[in-house]
């Protein structure tokens, strides 16, 4: 069976989606599922393409023992062919991705990450911490981490 390919998507690919990518990649190092999952992140916008993740996001990840490497890239229509699961960080990016999808099958790959967060309670957006302080990055990390736990369970159950 081919690897399950996951892409996390936010607006600029420097805060939320690279946080999700780093957490999932880190957790998969310690899970048998890790050899069956490939993970990337991207943004719907192109403002930060080629830039590293926001230093506040990197600092929070480092504080928790997780390396955040890589640089921002933009999600394109062609990426729907590369990924099996596309996880938007909020409803705005969800709508943008579904509008970009070339087919209904491609659009069906797009979900909100917090659909996998048992504490979401109907609020499925991961808030953008970019214009706030470090506390926002702590909160985002916690939300994403809970969601990743649910996502790993979901991927494991779909792989049989």
Q: Is residue 7 annotated as a catalytic residue, yes or no?
A: no
Q: Is residue 16 annotated as a catalytic residue, yes or no?
A: yes
Q: Which of 79, 90, 125, 128 is catalytic?
A: 128
Q: Which of 7, 10, 15, 58 is catalytic?
A: 10
Q: Which of 7, 16, 27, 54 is catalytic?
A: 16
Residue 88 pairs in a beta bridge with: 9, 112
Q: Is residue 128 annotated as a catalytic residue, yes or no?
A: yes
Sheet holding 85-88, edge to edge: 37-43, 4-10, 85-88, 110-112
Question: Are the beta carbons of 13 and 92 closer than 8 angstroms?
Answer: no
Report how far Cα 37 is from the mean position of its chain's Cα atoms: 13
Active-site amino acid positions? 10, 16, 128
């Amino acid at each position: 069976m081919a690897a399950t390919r996951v892409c996390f998507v936010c607006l600029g690919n420097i805060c939320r989606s690279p946080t999700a990518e780093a957490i999932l990649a880190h957790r998969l190092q310690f899970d048998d599922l890790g050899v069956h999952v490939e993970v990337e992140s991207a943004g719907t916008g192109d403002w930060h393409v080629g830039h590293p993740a926001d230093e506040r996001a990197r600092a929070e990840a480092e504080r928790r023992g997780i390396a955040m490497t890589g640089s921002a890239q933009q999600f394109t229509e062609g990426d729907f062919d590369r990924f099996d699961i596309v996880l938007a960080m909020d409803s705005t990016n969800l709508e943008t991705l579904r509008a970009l999808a070339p087919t209904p099958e491609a659009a069906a790959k797009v979900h909100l990450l917090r659909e996998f967060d048992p504490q979401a309670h109907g609020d499925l957006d991961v808030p953008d911490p970019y214009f706030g302080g470090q506390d926002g990055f702590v909160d985002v990390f916690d939300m994403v981490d809970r969601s990743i736990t649910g996502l790993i369970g979901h991927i494991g159950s779909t792989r049989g």
